[in-house]
Every structure is written in structure tokens, then in C-alpha cells.
Amino acid sequence: MAPTAPTVELGHGAAMPQLGLGTWPMDDAEAERVVAEAIGLGYRLVDTAENYQNERGVGLGLKASGVAREDLFVTTKFNKEWHGVDLAAEACERGLDRLGLDYLDLLLIHWPNPQHGKYIEAWEGLVGLLESGRVKAIGTSNFKPTHLDRIIEATGVIPDVNQIQLSPLTTRLEARAYHKERGIVTQSWSPIGGQGGEVRNEPKVLQLAEKYGKTPVQVVLRWHLDSGLTVVPKSSDPERLAQNLDVFDFELEPDDVMSLAALDQGEAAAADSDQFGH
Ligand SMILES: NC(=O)C1=CN([C@@H]2O[C@H](COP(=O)(O)OP(=O)(O)OC[C@H]3O[C@@H](n4cnc5c(N)ncnc54)[C@H](OP(=O)(O)O)[C@@H]3O)[C@@H](O)[C@H]2O)C=CC1
């Protein structure tokens, strides 16, 4: 059995596993099966979203796993239609209802949608949910430093987590430096390159896989962990789920971490949250 991922302490005190299960794109039936399997393998963090339309399946998978609620870490996110103080609270209640839970470990604003103009109000709503204890941690996703500046200035409350697209091909140095300065934990989405998967076929990755006797995906996941990042890789396959969690018995040498970061294709290769979002 693979080990359970170590945790990182978030700004508001919650302990979040450094590695968890991504669930996009899974439908309810697939999510129910995969979430239960993953927890059985040792996963404790599950990442979903209103937008994935699989929270009900995720919730059934959590229950089917038989693992106690307090030993699980559940993240969901809400869409821009809920960007408002009271609307964010309603989005949380609806998410909880779909998941069949009575609290969330982490609730994220999925995209800032700056053209919609209401993400500061959404953040104020999340601050209220944190204070009421309905959520243990609050955060953002796809927020740039300019968006983060505005919500922090408006409330004085720093997000626990900012979940952004990040891999050796999109290393997001500016965002990471900003997060580090403020104690925000960076969580990488599409950490192994998403469905296209280019990063896992990079010659440098293949060479390091050979050197460490690991798979290319294990090398890429280790790059995130050795760079101080947290990750939510997705797999629906039992063997790959086990493989992706089995990355806590080796570390990359610092030179190898740097050589993978040198694959960066720049900010333009990442989804632009000023232009994109649901
Ligand atoms: N906040 C946001 O806006 C976003 C958040 N996310 C979150 O991040 C998660 C991860 O991102 P995602 O885009 O899924 O990309 P990932 O980088 O996790 O890559 C997933 C792909 O890699 C394949 N894969 C997984 N493990 C292995 C392996 N060991 N060897 C070979 N192939 C493998 C999967 O296929 P298979 O299933 O067949 O194994 C799937 O096609 C999502 O599931 C979601 O939870 C994603 C996008 C946006």
C-alpha cells in the first residue's frame, strides 16, 4: 500500500495533504468509483468543483470509502454566478448538499472572472464562512497577484491556498514568489501536464525517470514536491492512482529540480485568468 501524503499547515491552521486526487473530468459514476478506490489506496485529499458536475459522485465515493470524515480533506470550488457575499454562502451550502457533508476543508473561488467584477464580494463571503466554521480553510484558484492584492486589501484576510496551472512547462515564478511572501500555499493543477501530457514525454523527464528508477509522472510529481508545491493529479486508473501516490520514498537532487524548471515555456503557456474562466 502506498503511504499517505504528508501534510502542510495552512495559514488558518488546517493540515492539508501535499498530494491529492483531481476529479476533472469525471462524471458522477466515475467519481464515485475512483474516489473510493483512491482513498482505499491512501489518498486523503479530493479536489472537485461545482463546474465538474460530479460533487454528488465524489460525496458517494467519500462515504463508500469508510474512512472517517475528519481524516479526509475535501476541496470544492464555485462558479462566477455566486460571486457575492450572500451568494458565496449559498454556493457553499449547495456544494455541501451535493457532497452530503456538513463542512468543507477548503472552499475556493474557481476563477476571478475580473470582467464580472464581483470576486472581492465573493471573498468577503468566504471570510464569513471561515469565521462561522462552515469551512476550515478558504482560498482562490487562477488568481493572479493583482487579483490577490485586491482581496487582501479589502479584507485583510490572506487566502490559505491559490490553485493555479503549474508544471515544469509553466513554472509560474512570479505567482509563487508572491504566494511565498504572504504565506499562501501554491497548489498545482494539471501538475503532470493534463490530458495532453507533453511534460511527461520531455526527453529530460524520461532521462531522470531512468536515473531514479521511477516513472516519468513520478519524477514530475516529485519536482512539484521538491519545489515546495502541493498537487492534485487526476487519474481514473487504479495502477496510475497508486503510482502517483507512491512518490514519498525519493527526492530529486537540487540540480535535477533546476533542470526540469528550465523546461518553462513562460507565462503565455498558462491559461490566462483575465481572459478565461467559467
Ligand atoms: N482550478 C482549476 O481551474 C482547475 C483545476 N483542475 C484540477 O486539477 C486536477 C488535475 O489536473 P488535470 O487537468 O486533470 O491534469 P493532470 O496533470 O493531473 O493529468 C491528468 C491526465 O494524466 C493522465 N495520467 C494520470 N496519471 C498518470 C500516470 N501515472 N501515467 C500516465 N498518465 C497519467 C490521466 O489519465 P488517466 O486518468 O487515464 O490515468 C489524465 O489524462 C483536475 O482533475 C482538477 O481536479 C484542473 C483544471 C483546472
Give the Å distance between the CA of 30 and the centre of ligand 1.
14
Q: If you take atom 46 of ligand 1, which residue's CA is the nearest one?
A: 189
181: left (phi over 0), alpha (psi -120 to 50) or beta: alpha
Helix axes 28-41, 238-245, angle to 10 degrees: 50
Q: Give the C-alpha separation, 252 to 151, whole Å.
A: 36
Cα separations in angstroms, 266 against 171, 192, 194, 229: 7, 16, 17, 18
Whether 212 sits among the annotated catalytic residues: the reply is no
Mean pLDDT of 11-40: 98
Give the Å distance between the CA of 45 and the centre of ligand 1.
14
Give the Å distance between the CA of 162 and the centre of ligand 1.
18
Q: Assess contact for 35 and 62: CB atoms under 8 A.
A: yes
Looking at the chain, the whole-number percentage of residues with pLDDT higher than 90 is 91
Q: What is the DSSP letter of 268?
A: G
pLDDT at position 58 over 60: yes
Ligand 1: nearest atom to the Cα of 216:
30
Mean pLDDT of the chain: 96
Q: Is 76 in the pocket of ligand 1 (CB under 6 A)?
A: no
Q: Is 142 in the pocket of ligand 1 (CB under 6 A)?
A: yes
Residue 150 burial class via C-beta count within 10 angstroms: exposed 0-12, middle 13-18, buried 19 and up? middle
Contacts of 140 (CB under 8 A, 6+ apart): 108, 109, 112, 123, 147, 148, 151, 159, 161, 162, 163
Q: If you take atom 11 of ligand 1, which residue's CA is the nearest one?
A: 190
Mean pLDDT of 3-15: 95
Pocket test for ligand 1, best of 23, 45, 144, 189 (most atoms within 8 A of CB): 189
Complex-level ipTM beyond the 0.95 threshold? yes
| Residue 278 pLDDT level (bands cut at 50, 70, 90) | low
pLDDT at position 177 over 90: yes
Give the Å distance between the CA of 189 and the centre of ligand 1.
8
Which of 52, 103, 119, 212 does the annotation list as catalytic?
52
**Could you read off the pLDDT of 180-219 as tens digits, one per residue?**
999 999 999 999 998 888 899 999 999 999 999 999 999 9
Q: Give the C-alpha separation, 222 to 146, whole Å.
A: 29
SS3 content of the chain, % helix, strand, coil (to 5): 45, 15, 40
pLDDT at position 2 over 70: no
pLDDT at position 106 over 70: yes
The candidate with the shortest Cα–Cα distance to 2, out of 212, 229, 244, 208, is 244
Contacts of 247 (CB under 8 A, 6+ apart): 19, 214, 218, 221, 222, 225
Q: Give the C-alpha separation, 136 to 116, whole Å.
A: 27
Amino acid at 104: L
Cα separations in angstroms, 112 against 35, 89, 130, 218: 28, 17, 19, 31
| pLDDT attached to residue 229 | 98
Contacts of 223 (CB under 8 A, 6+ apart): 168, 252, 257, 260, 261
| pLDDT attached to residue 268 | 81
Q: Give the C-alpha separation, 63 to 73, whole Å.
A: 13
